[in-house]
Structure formats: C-alpha cells, structure tokens
Amino acid sequence: MRELSIVPNGAMLVRDGRLHAVGPREVVERKVTAATAVVDAGGRIILPGFVDAHTHAVFAGNRANEFEQRIEGATYNEIAAQGGGIRATVRRTREAGEAEILDAGRRYREWFWRGGTTTIEAKSGYGLSLDAELKMLRVIRQLGYVATFLGAHEVPDEYRGNRAGYVDLLIREMLPPARDLAGFCDVFCEPAVFPVEESRRILQEAARLGFGLRVHADQFANDGGARLAAELGAVTADHLEYTDDEGLRALAGAGVQPVLLPGSVFSLGGSRYPAARRMIELGLALVLATDFNPGSSPTASMPMILSLACSQMRLTPAEAITASTINAACSLRLGGEVGSLEAGKRADFVIQDCDDYRELPYFFGREPAHAVYIGGSCVYERRRDA
C-alpha cells in the first residue's frame, strides 16, 4: 500500500473516454497528432479520481438539529431510540418526490466532484418500504452511482415492536425487485438495529439472489459483525470501530476488505477509530470512504477523510491514497475499470493543485482539486479566483 507508482514529468493520452497511453512525457508525446487537444496540468500532480465505496448520498432534508443535540449531550443511539436518527430521514425521504431527491443528490454530487471523487457507491435505506426503497435505488442509478440495497438500515416506524415482520417483508418482497437495480446488499448489523442472527438471514438470502455482500459491522459494539462478514464471504465489512482481534483475523482469513469511515467517528465526537495499522499488518486491503450521510458523517470530502486517516489512524499518505483509489475500486469489483491510471481504464483523473502527493492529507479541510475528469470529460474546474 505504500508503493505508489509515480511517473515524474508524466503525461497521458485519452481516447474515447479511456486512457490510451500513460507514461513519461517524451514517450506519450510521440503519439500526439494535430487533432489532439492538449491540457497542460502546469506541473501539478495527477491522481486517479477517488473511489468512494461507502456513502448514503441520496436523502431528503438534513439533520443539523441532531448535530446540535449531540453537542449538548445526547448520543447518536439515544436520538435514534427516540425516533430521530435514520427514521427522521426516512420520514423526510418518503414524503419527497423523486425529483426533489434527485435535485438534492445532484447538489451533493457536485461536492464529491469538487473533492476529486469520480466513482461513488450509494446505499438506499431511507425508504424502508418497497416503493420508497425502489425510488431511492432509481435515483442512485440516475446519478450514475454504484447501487447498494440497504433495506435493513433500520426498523421503520410502522414495524416498531415487530422486527421479525419487517425482516420477513424485506426477504419476501423487497430483496427480489431490488436485485434488478442494485448489485450489492448491505445490513446495519448492530445489537440495537439488526442483531447478527437477523443480519445473517437477510444476507444469506441476498447472496442466494446474487447480490455481493457489504456489512455495517461493529460500529458501536462488538457484536460479531466482522465474523459474520467473514463467514458469509462478504466483499466488505464496514466501520469496524469495535471489532476485536479475532474478528480482524477472520476478515483476513476470508479475504474481506475492511472499509474504514473515520468521518463518522470524527463527526460523532468519538475517539475510538478502527485499528487500521493492525489491519494492514494482517495483510488486509484497506479501503477508506466518507460514509457521507445526514446523521453520522455529513461530509463528501475524500481529502478530509485522508487527513483523518493519517492523523487519527496513522496511515501514511501513500497508504491513504491506495485505500481511497485502487483498493476502493476493487471493493466495488471495478478494479479493472477505475482506481489507477493505466492504459485501458476509464479516463477518471484529477489534476490536484499540489506538487507532492503528501500535501493532500497534510493541508486539511481544503479541497485541492484543480480539475476533475470522468470518462475524459471535465466535470469540475476550479475557478481562477478560488
């Protein structure tokens, strides 16, 4: 993870939205013709676009009110138990029409682009009824995101006290149609939400239908979520703040990729970050993601996440870049398509306004992207005066 392949004085040739040649400038320049449009990066570094492999980026409204309540002493779980939290966003998202949710989604997509993120995974999970979940998945796809079905994000208001009834509905009526719109299925596996036994039932059924599995595991308690992810051969286990060493070893044994979300620890005012160094020691292919959502992690900024990963979890800048590009791409099964600058891959890249990659996490709270390209087209360019 520390070995970045850096090409000093490099260049790239893009053709039909793909990288056609990548290498030393004098080699690539030989392929330039009169018809080639030349973009001068001005000596800045070029990186693959970030791949954000864990977000909840489609929702209506926000929860700035709960942010204030937490500052005044309420915990995330207390607010949830009182009917706020995820359920507050569910009520808001159910009411909203598809166009309103899409508009909000477009606004946040700009934020991702400004941060240099070019591939975004997004989960449903603020609908929690068949219609509202499918509405979310349609919006996620319209935004061009990798879709994950998260019907098991919370027990909705009308099923309080009847979690088993909701799990039945999810398995019988929601999973099969969701499969047409989403390649992955996720569960919020947590004692107070979906305990391991129920999570297992849902995920086993999802696997049977052909979903790839992702699991919100051990975020607030060590409930065996990581071991469950390993047992089921999940693609990723996400969060892992409370996972014990046995759980980490299980992930390593099963080749499950850990997705670490330091933005949620930071925003909730916590101090328990996942054991990233131990995971790397065990050979796990770490992924970093924003977890962008209206509750625990209201940031779409991957540069901010890199800063937190370095300062709070002691990743080196190079490790943080690997975790947020190629490792993240592999966790979405897109490792052959995005996540690095190699001939044949999609031309998703960022001209970063710095000349040393270590500046990215070092200057924190800054969005360093100078220009962002997806499939060879510029989707964001910094204004001259910014």
Note the residues at the interface with Fe ion (CB under 5 A).
291
* Residue with nearest beta carbon to ligand NIG: 295
Q: Hey, what are 254's tokens?
A: 């099963």
Other residues' Cβ atoms within 10 Å of the Cβ of residue 214: 30
CB of 158 to Fe ion, least distance (A): 23
Q: Which does 92 bind (CB under 5 to 8 A by kind): Fe ion, ligand NIG, none?
A: none
According to DSSP, the β-strands at 287-288 and 257-260 are parallel
Angle between helices 317-324 and 302-313 (to 10 degrees): 130
CA separation for the pair 289, 328 (Å, rounded): 8
**3-class state of residue 109 by DSSP:** helix
Backbone angles phi, psi at 214, to 5 degrees: -130, 145
Q: Which does 86 bind (CB under 5 to 8 A by kind): ligand NIG, Fe ion, none?
A: ligand NIG
CA separation for the pair 218, 191 (Å, rounded): 9
CB of 359 to Fe ion, least distance (A): 29
Q: Which amino acid is at 27?
A: V
Other residues' Cβ atoms within 10 Å of the Cβ of residue 318: 15
CB-wise, 55 or 327, nearer to Fe ion? 55
Residues found near ligand NIG in the complex (CB under 6 A):
56, 85-86, 89, 188, 216, 219, 264, 291, 293-297
CB-wise, 117 or 293, nearer to ligand NIG? 293
Q: Which does 295 bind (CB under 5 to 8 A by kind): ligand NIG, Fe ion, none?
A: ligand NIG
CB of 301 to ligand NIG, least distance (A): 16
CB of 347 to Fe ion, least distance (A): 29
Q: Which does 227 bind (CB under 5 to 8 A by kind): ligand NIG, Fe ion, none?
A: none
Q: Which does 327 bind (CB under 5 to 8 A by kind): ligand NIG, Fe ion, none?
A: none
Q: Which does 325 bind (CB under 5 to 8 A by kind): Fe ion, ligand NIG, none?
A: none
CA separation for the pair 245, 232 (Å, rounded): 18
CB-wise, 175 or 260, nearer to Fe ion? 260
CB of 12 to ligand NIG, least distance (A): 35
CB-wise, 95 or 342, nearer to ligand NIG? 95
CA separation for the pair 186, 195 (Å, rounded): 13
CB-wise, 188 or 349, nearer to Fe ion? 188
CA separation for the pair 28, 49 (Å, rounded): 21
Q: Which does 294 bind (CB under 5 to 8 A by kind): Fe ion, ligand NIG, none?
A: ligand NIG
Strands (DSSP E) found in 328-382? 349-352, 369-374, 377-381
Tell me the sheet residues that pair with 51. Answer: 119
CB-wise, 46 or 268, nearer to ligand NIG? 268
CB-wise, 14 or 189, nearer to ligand NIG? 189
CB of 67 to ligand NIG, least distance (A): 11
CB of 61 to ligand NIG, least distance (A): 11
Q: Which does 303 bind (CB under 5 to 8 A by kind): Fe ion, ligand NIG, none?
A: none
Backbone angles phi, psi at 100, to 5 degrees: -65, -40
Q: Which amino acid is at 158?
A: E
CA separation for the pair 341, 66 (Å, rounded): 41
CA separation for the pair 137, 57 (Å, rounded): 11
CB of 153 to Fe ion, least distance (A): 8
CB-wise, 295 or 339, nearer to ligand NIG? 295
